[in-house]
Amino acid sequence: MEGTQAFRAIEASSFPDDIMEVMQESEARLAIRLASKLSEAGARSLQREARGAAVTFLCMLADRMSLSSESFTQVVVNFDVYCQLAATRPNAHNMEELIRQLPDVCTSLCLVAYKVDTSIGKIDWTELHSATEWFEQALALPSSVAQQDQDETKARIVATEAQVLEALGWRTEVTTAEKWLSAFCARLEAATNGVFGTLPGWIWQRGMMMAKAVMQWYTAFDIPPRVLALGLFCSGFIAAGVLSAAAFQSSSLTEAKWVDMLVTSNRAAMPPCGVSPAGQRRALALLQFASKVNVMEMKESSRLVVSAVCEVVAMSEATGTLVAAPVSVERI
């Protein structure tokens, strides 16, 4: 597709340039706002283990409440925002207090998302009561739920919901890695008139599987949603054999180290690139055009994200938890 036609196709897609700019500006504003608050307060962050347990609980709640995948990723980002804001409170014990509140905060965030997803859906308070009690026990907290009946639990969670919404400024729609990855894939399909066939869909599926594993251990401020999505988008083309490993190799890494990282993160040997050098150059140009990102940023995002996935794989092996292997490239 010619350049002008490709541009028009992208502008007619669900993610034209102005939407991409709004997403990027929104993400940047939130990061700057929270960074300034944290530097002023000198606050601590929620411990990785506690956050990992909370995200696991959020995943369980999202599954039981049949939340959409996008809603779940928004819940996790909002959880990170709330925790960062809670860390700025002028209280020496703010982290201890936050950990005690985690069951109610997590339940409240999923409840807000559920109301957005299913405005007429009936809330199962019996299920929420038992789920909150289970998480309190998992955190080894004194159980407040066990001492309350269902109506008292409902009143407490509703009160926490109002507190959480007020802290978030009543803004719960945030930019997520899923939205960014969807944008990159949709724009690529539009710009190429579907020349890559099912590859963008495979990259999205593989990327979201890996993104959710990363999100359990890294906050939205450790690895911003756009960076996470871009790194998974780029590395997906290497995993599919469309681009060679060298396409996104950072200058700070040797070839051997980079290939080893890719193999570890993919949990399988990387397929050889089956595209000619000229074809790879054209593919890379299309990726830049669709994502509106230069090669240097692609390389740095790929390095950060692949490194994070490697750490997640190592932690899962150390703790005996399972990280699902990405979808096989043979399914493309």
Residue 247 has pLDDT above 90, yes or no: yes
> Would the pLDDT of 90 be above 70?
no
288: Cβ contacts below 8 Å, ≥ 6 apart: 294, 295, 298
Q: Residue 327 above 50 pLDDT?
A: no
- Domain interval for residue 126: 43-167
Establish if 14 belongs to a structural domain.
Answer: no
Among candidate residues 127, 146, 167, the one where a domain is terminated: 167
Distance CA(236)–CA(240), nearest Å, equals 6
The confidence score (pLDDT) of residue 125 equals: 86
CATH code, domain carrying 131? 1.10.472
Residue 329 has pLDDT above 60, yes or no: no
Which pLDDT does position 210 carry in this prediction? 95
Alpha-carbon distance of 247 to 177, in angstroms, equals 22
- Write the pLDDT tens digit of every residue in 284-325: 999 999 899 999 999 999 999 999 999 999 988 877 665 544
Mean pLDDT for 146-171 is 86
What pLDDT score does 109 carry?
96
Residue 316 shares a structural domain with residue 185: yes
Q: Which helix (H) or strand (E) holds 249?
A: none
Please determine, for residue 40, whether its predicted confidence score (pLDDT) is greater than 70.
no
pLDDT at 81: 92
For residues 191-199, average pLDDT = 91
Query: In the prediction, which pLDDT does 13 show?
Result: 81
157 and 261, same domain (yes or no): no
Nearest to 232 by CA among 192, 273, 291: 291
Same domain, 225 and 125: no
Long-range residue pairs from 197-201, CB within 8 A, at least 24 positions apart, any chain:
197/332, 198/332, 199/240, 199/242, 199/332
User: What is the count of structural domains for the chain?
Assistant: 2
- Are 116 and 217 within one domain? no
The tokens for 31 are: 């990061």
Q: What is the rounded distance in angstroms from the CA atom of residue 199 to the CA atom of residue 329?
A: 9
Tell me: do 189 and 300 sit in the same domain: yes
Report which DSSP code applies to 42. Answer: T
Q: Are 249 and 307 in contact (CB under 8 A)?
A: no
Higher pLDDT pick, 103 / 122: 103
Mean pLDDT of the chain: 87
The Cβ-side half-sphere exposure at 115, using a 13 Å CA radius, reads: 9
Q: Look at residue 9 and tell me whether its pLDDT is greater than 80.
A: yes
Identify the pLDDT of residue 197: 93
Confidence check: pLDDT of 79 > 60: yes
% of the chain at pLDDT higher than 90 = 58
pLDDT tier, 38 (very low <50, low <70, confident <90, very high otherwise): low
Residue 327 forms part of a structural domain? yes
Tell me, yes or no, whether 220 lies in a domain: yes
CB atoms within 10 A of CB 266: 23
pLDDT for the residue 120: 58
* Inside any domain, residue 36: no
Least confident of 109-113, 136-140, 142-146, 230-234: 142-146
Q: Which residue has the higher pLDDT, 88 or 313?
A: 313
Mean pLDDT across 261-267: 93
What pLDDT, on the 0 to 100 scale, is given for residue 332? Answer: 43
Task: Give me the pLDDT at residue 49, please.
Answer: 85
Segment 165-189, tens digit of pLDDT: 999 999 899 999 999 999 999 999 9
Q: What are 16-30's pLDDT values in tens digits? A: 999 999 999 999 988
**Residue 184 sits in the same domain as residue 320:** yes
Same domain, 192 and 91: no
Cα separation, 167 vs 330, whole angstroms: 46
Shared domain for 290 and 249, answered yes or no, is yes
